[in-house]
A and B are shown apart, each in its own frame.
Chain A
Amino acid sequence: MSRIRKDYETSFFRKFKRWMDGETDLLDGVMDLSGQEGTEEPVPGAEGTLWKEDEAGAEEVLREKRAETEKERKSLALFERIYRIMAVILCLAIIWVFLWTTVHLPPFGGADNPANNEVPARYIESGVRETGAINFVTGMILDYRAFDTFGESCVLFVASCCVMFLLRMDKGSSRLLREHPDLLEDDRLFEPKDDVILQRAAAFLLPLILIFGIYIVLNGHLSPGGGFSGGAVLGSGLILYLEAFGFRRTRRFFTEKTYRRITLSALTFYCLAKSYSFYTGANHLESGIPLGTPGAILSSGLILPLNICVGLVVMCTMYAFYTLFRRGGM
């Protein structure tokens, strides 16, 4: 028969066994046991009658604990201070490195900078002929580097999906709603809206804003603008309408279903159209999409429809963000 040694409790093997069994509390003695403001609190029961005999001992233990936590707090405060100083030094060092690098960079706007090479030269010289867009920037982002732009619109898409996941309240299934039913009381309770000044102003401004937005989107290939900026203007117009006239009237023409349909069809069209163009381009086939006369509204091949798609996606994303960050869904 094996015999348990007297010092088994303190032996290495006992400790190892406790560790294997997951019994050791690794945070024992490290954690502040008495809570944040706990040093002033007396131990519960320390003044009770049952503890009369142990009171002195308990007091002693308490005092020791207090001294320990006090020491730990002091060292923690010291750590915090050193941490802050180090963080500031580190930030200054990084700033210094970047400034020093900037000194060594080519001067801003220099004519013989490395960035002024054959790449922008071709964009400027033959951009109009090759893409049909008078606005080089649009030609660049929607034709030369259209894959990146498709990625960017997918960034918007995935961001709005995340926000929807986080903030959309689905009746019956949402865990948050089950725990806090009061969240259902959303901003619709403050309707109907009757802010006459806002409504009059909105009625005057809205057509202008929307038409201007549509103009920016449609003229993306002719003048500064395009899907991203025009979509932002359209989205802000929708938000203004919502603020002035309330959810009930907005829902007549824009619900979550509309949102989903618009986003889906715009992105699908973008994806299919660009896939076609990538495929034909890579396989050296003629795409067969006419470029039209540069300067006309119906020109530059796929750029105009793609601008419209991007504009719709941006508009929907902006509106969705606004409604989801308020109380109550879209």
Chain B
Amino acid sequence: MSFVQNFPFFSIIAAMFSGIVSSALSGKKARNLSIFVIILTTLMSAAVLMFCARTGESYTYMMGHFPAPWGNEIRAGVLEGLTALVFGVVMLWAVTGGIRYTEWDVEPTKQNLFYIMIDLMLSSLLALIYTNDLFTAYVFVEINTIAGCGLIMMRQTGRSLTAAIRYMVMSSLGSGLFLIGLSLLYDVTGQLLMTPAREAVAALRETGSYELPLLVIVAVISVGLAIKSGLYPFHYWIPDTYGHATPAASAVLSGLVSKGYIFLLIKFFYRVMEWENVIYSHIVNVLFLFGVAGMIMGSLQALLMKDTRKMIAYSSVAQIGYIYMGIGLGTQAGMVAAVFHIFTHAATKALLFISSAGLYNASGGKTDYRSLRGAGYRNLLAGIGFTAGAMSMVGFPMLAGFISKLLFATAALKSPHKMLITLIALAVSTVLNAAYFLRFVISLYRPPQSGTDGENGAFPDGAGQEKAPRAVNSLNLRLAVVCLVILNLVLGLFSQPIVRAIETGLAMFD
């Protein structure tokens, strides 16, 4: 056994351990430890990815002295390594880019608690990616939910508290449904680990017994995880949650947390239920319809928002819709597009939240369109970062969003029944995306209105900036924006190897 194969386990444990140790550290030390651990786990994920790509196969890793159906197990392959790598990079820049805002938003004596949440969130995301055990997945879903609530309420304003409560209620509903599905699955198969459960499910299918419970299991777990990731009809917690948290938390929550659940769902479909059977059960068609509805409705609602943070949050609803639409196509190509869009959206949403924080900062902390006019001149780098992110979301060539739209469109051509709807939805949603994002970008580069509302009319050294904290662009924010733009470009320009890696990774799931 190669030493590299220990890395998935090391990265999960390192993240958890740093969270535990942070409870005794000061805020600053906890922050440095947290950043160090994120870098460490990212490097280890890269090593795992390299290892799996070189050997060309996945491997399972026993957590303890007992083999598969008795003890816990984790599993690593190309797709797991790649996802952990992308998540690690996005997490790193989301946290470092938001450092200054975290310092402002979180009480000084409670800074270390914020980084505990970040560490445990990282560990739970890694565990959701690597796990080969459904019950382990449930335990880490719990950690994820509670840490998510913690991250949302960090600002301790009234709105963020209500947002946290709303998130908790919806998210607990999702966890509950997931747990019900899990218990039903245990009842009919007697297995909790993915590999033996898959064999048991296959045996049940052959004999044709327990057909109805199996259908209900797929439905309940899909709906549970869809609620937790914010698919369209269950999306009401999203705008408040992302709109009122501190920027680092918003970026982590919208970029990564909802994607962790989607990844778990994909893993459940492939590793337990077998993809062909899931397609056959028509559950994917429901996900497809919800996804398409989300693409259109999310964009429409984003169009109506005056508060730009909520606009970005509603745009997340639309993007989650894209991902579920890709899953719902029910083909390999659709799934590849969905996974690629997970990466695209993670990189882009983090960039949007972090750079828009810089823009608000340059506009006296205001978040509506009118106050943000001219903010692109007041904070050049954040403006460029936001423009790049918006372009990527709209689907500008060279950026990540273009590739995922291309993949969705080509995947749609291969599934005749859903082709027309997918293409129309893609077209409509792209136009709507362009309408609200480019409107924001244009208003960033227009001269601020004078005379309408006293302090809004401030240009570079005007009155509006007095309210803004001094250091407009810390080094961290600059670095984060630049690196996230680069990540977007990498995803957009070097998409071929990544798409191929996703394809091999999905093949390894079988």
Contacts and interface: CB of A to CB of B under 8 A. Distances in A.
Of B110, B210, B304, chain A has the most CB atoms within 10 Å of the CB of: B110
B174 interface: no
21 contacts: A22-B443, A104-B210, A104-B213, A114-B187, A117-B191, A146-B63, A147-B64, A155-B143, A157-B120, A158-B117, A165-B154, A173-B107, A173-B109, A174-B107, A260-B24, A264-B24, A267-B20, A268-B21, A279-B6, A281-B62, A284-B1
Interface stretch (B69-77, B84-92, B380-388): B69-77
Which of B70, B140, B306, B449 has the most chain A CB atoms inside 10 A of its CB? B70
A277 B139 contact: no
Contacts of B117: 158, 161-162
A170 B107 CA distance: 9
Interface in B104-143: 107-110, 113, 116-117, 120, 123, 127, 133, 135-136, 139-140, 142-143
Contacts of A23: 370
Given A101-B212, A144-B71, A158 B143 contact: yes
A203 interface: no
Interface stretch (A51-59, A118-126, A181-189, A226-234): A118-126
B66 interface: yes
Contact of A119 (B6, B9, B190, B212): B190
A160 B104 CA distance: 23
A198 B70 CA distance: 49
A162 B142 contact: no
A81 interface: no
A162 B69 contact: no
Given A20-B442, A22-B369, A22-B443, A271 B1 contact: no
Interface stretch (B11-19, B38-46, B267-275, B499-507): B11-19
Interface in A83-131: 97-98, 100-101, 104-106, 113-119, 122-123, 130
A166 interface: yes
B71 A154 contact: no
Q: Is the interface of A mostly helix, strand, loop or mixed?
A: helix
Given A104-B213, A283-B6, A278 B113 contact: no
How many B residues touch the partner, as a band? 35 or more
A122 B196 CA distance: 15
Contacts of B120: 154, 157-158
B200 A114 contact: yes
Contact of A26 (B123, B139, B306): B306
B150 interface: yes
Contact of B19 (A123, A147, A154, A162): A154
A210 to B, nearest CB: 25
Contacts, number: 186
Given A106-B187, A165-B154, A260-B23, A154 B16 contact: yes
B109 A170 contact: yes
B362 interface: no
A115 B190 contact: yes
B189 interface: yes
Contact of A281 (B65, B116, B210): B65
B260 to A, nearest CB: 15
Contacts of B154: 165
Contact of A162 (B13, B23, B149, B304): B149
Contacts of B143: 151, 154-155, 158
Contacts of B188: 105-106, 114
A159 interface: yes
A57 B310 CA distance: 39
A279 B9 contact: yes
Nearest to B131: A147
Given A144-B64, A164-B113, A281-B64, 16 more contacts: A20-B439, A26-B304, A105-B187, A114-B189, A115-B187, A117-B190, A150-B16, A155-B139, A158-B117, A162-B117, A170-B110, A173-B107, A175-B107, A277-B65, A279-B6, A284-B1
A101 B109 contact: no
A97 B410 CA distance: 38
A26 B303 CA distance: 11
